[in-house]
A and B are shown apart, each in its own frame.
Chain A
Amino acid sequence: MTEKNGIEVEGLVREYKKGPRAVDGIDISVAPGEIYGFLGPNGAGKSTTVHVLTTLLPPTAGTARVGGYDVIKDGPKVRGLIGVALQEAALDPLLTGRDHLRLQATLQGVRKNQRHSRAEELLHRVGLADAADRKVSGYSGGMKRRLDLALALVHSPRILFLDEPTTGLDPQSRTALWEEVALLRREDRVTVFLTTQYLEEADVLADRVGIIDQGKIVAEGTPAELKAEIGRPSVHAIPHREEDRPRIAEFLAQFGEPLASSRDVAVRLRDGLVLTDIVRAVDQNGIDVADLELRAPTLDDVFLAKTGRTLEGAAEEAETEQPAMRPA
């Protein structure tokens, strides 16, 4: 039995007609009150997983329990205890923010005498009190996202699903949303399942991160654990001249294993080496570089180590290969 407020997924599979397995046998366990970051490029299977866990799609195989309820057998019960902000903040452009909250509160069964106060509380909480009576068609992307979050919270859910909540937002709106999510966990003990393609977002917000690629979870743990798995830092050199790139790559290869990167020339350092060793060698051999940088492992390095691709590269691949998918 799943703990109250937790999420348990075992062997979850979701196939699409004439397409690959969008989700290919994943296992996930999210503890109550935890923020779980589900990280992966476009087309990795993040949104499909969210659709299954929020009862919008039946799984092809496997089991999933949300808040102790089976997503197939107990759909209405699951829906009653979750809040969801899907990737597209599907809002009605002709309704105001307040109209949306009133509608959502009614549909979610919030008592009539509490609807008004709940709407006001949420409008203030997400900073939309002044814009509450404006039509959503005049909202910015950040305002729409914040309204979407308020709508997901209207019935005080115990578990919150956020599907790429900050995609397309400016840095200020992104930070504001992160603060709100962190506050929800800290003050209300809400369990948060958050999908993202932003490394920084997973790093900053998530207690634990699951990295998904091509429907499979390739790594899971706290951000610190995952980065510790990689362990060694990497050195990144930016050539002065583009034609020097092969020579620099060949030179740096003696210090560690080369890393795929379109922006610079990079190697993961062998144990025991430090930046000064590289700087000295570069200088002694007359290698001309514009910049040389030592970087601690990031989640992108974890992704690279597990899949052989960078998150950015995987996203570009996904965009060119994405097939037209229909539910099986």
Chain B
Amino acid sequence: MSNLPQVGAIARRSIIRTSRQPASVIAPLIFPIALLAVNAGGLRSSTELPGFPTTSFLAFALAVPFIQGALFSTMNAGTDLARDVQTGFINRLSLTALRDWALLTGQLAGVVVLGMVQVVFYLVVGLAAGVRFESGPAGIAVLLLYGAIVAMAFGALGAWLAFRTGSGESIQALFPVLFVFLFISSMNTPRNLIGVKWFQVAATLNPVSYMIECVRSLIITGWDPQALALGFGFVIALGLIWLTLASRALRTRMTRT
């Protein structure tokens, strides 16, 4: 029997679940855009700093919602899967012909679909607000691809945490930790312009900076091979690590002979 229908069924369930929880859909769409609006208004004068790469702070900061939205996806995907463990739904799945990897792939496919909805929403908002993509339509295509990979990587992180802890509350508790990574990054200031030394070092060590800079380069720079390589490299590397961890945790969780 082909496993594709199984992957599709799990992905469909993931999408249905999320779409029937309005808060899970609306918060990842609205909250990052609201934060973007606040930052774009309050930090507009940053563009006057010597060496700031653009005159539009909105264009500079538009990259942030893409990553912030992925963090929300992590929480949603993780919490959903943890609930499956808590309620015993995972046992129901274990008793079918479902393969471990098909469950994980289906779940991540659902996360990617929802992640793409977010990416398109942020794109539309950015374009409507007058942001111009220096990399053109091809850059937008690359951004969509990157959004899919980021959603999958962070979805795998959520899945790993869910299968490892089996507790939705534990995953919710990790949300602030992930947010710290977002804030200690180059989200509001280019790394070379960060004045506080420890912050600059932390932002340089933080992979989230490179993810933001990858998206940002497509918007404000055009084609920057180094930013793209670092952005894609980090997210693919982290994605593979999280995917491996999630697969292992799932195998333990879906105990069956």
Contact = CB atoms under 8 A, between A and B. Distances in A.
A82 B93 CA distance: 13
Contacts of B95: 54-56, 79, 82, 84
Contact of A106 (B5, B16, B21): B5
A79 B255 CA distance: 13
A99 B16 contact: yes
B87 A88 contact: yes
B94 interface: yes
B257 A58 contact: yes
B7 to A, nearest CB: 10
Interface stretch (A33-41, A69-77, A283-291): A69-77
Interface in A61-91: 71-73, 75-76, 78-80, 82, 84, 86, 88, 90-91
Interface residues of A, number: 34
Contact of B13 (A54, A57, A78, A95): A95
A90 B87 contact: yes
Interface string B87-113: 111011111111000000000000000
B188 interface: no
A123 to B, nearest CB: 18
B256 A107 contact: no
B256 A79 contact: yes
B1 interface: yes
Interface hub of A73, A82, A108 (most chain B Cβ within 10 A): A108
A148 to B, nearest CB: 9
A317 interface: no
Contact of B88 (A78, A86, A103, A104): A86
Interface in B1-39: 1, 5-6, 8-10, 12-13, 16-17, 20-21
A107 B91 contact: no
A107 B98 contact: yes
Chain B interface: which size bin?
20 to 34
Contacts of B9: 102-103, 106-107
Contacts of B93: 107
A306 interface: no
B1 A91 contact: no
A151 interface: yes
Contacts, number: 77
A112 to B, nearest CB: 7
Nearest to A152: B95
B91 A109 contact: no
A94 interface: yes
A135 interface: yes
A200 interface: no
B20 A135 contact: yes
A153 B47 CA distance: 65
A327 interface: yes
Contacts of B96: 79, 104, 107-108
A90 B86 CA distance: 9
Given A57-B255, A94-B17, A151-B92, 13 more contacts: A56-B95, A58-B257, A71-B257, A73-B257, A76-B97, A79-B96, A90-B88, A92-B17, A99-B13, A104-B92, A107-B9, A107-B97, A112-B5
Interface of A: 54-58, 71-73, 75-76, 78-80, 82, 84, 86, 88, 90-92, 94-95, 99, 102-104, 106-109, 112, 135, 151, 327
13 contacts: A55-B95, A56-B95, A80-B97, A86-B88, A88-B87, A99-B16, A102-B9, A103-B9, A106-B6, A107-B93, A107-B98, A108-B97, A109-B97
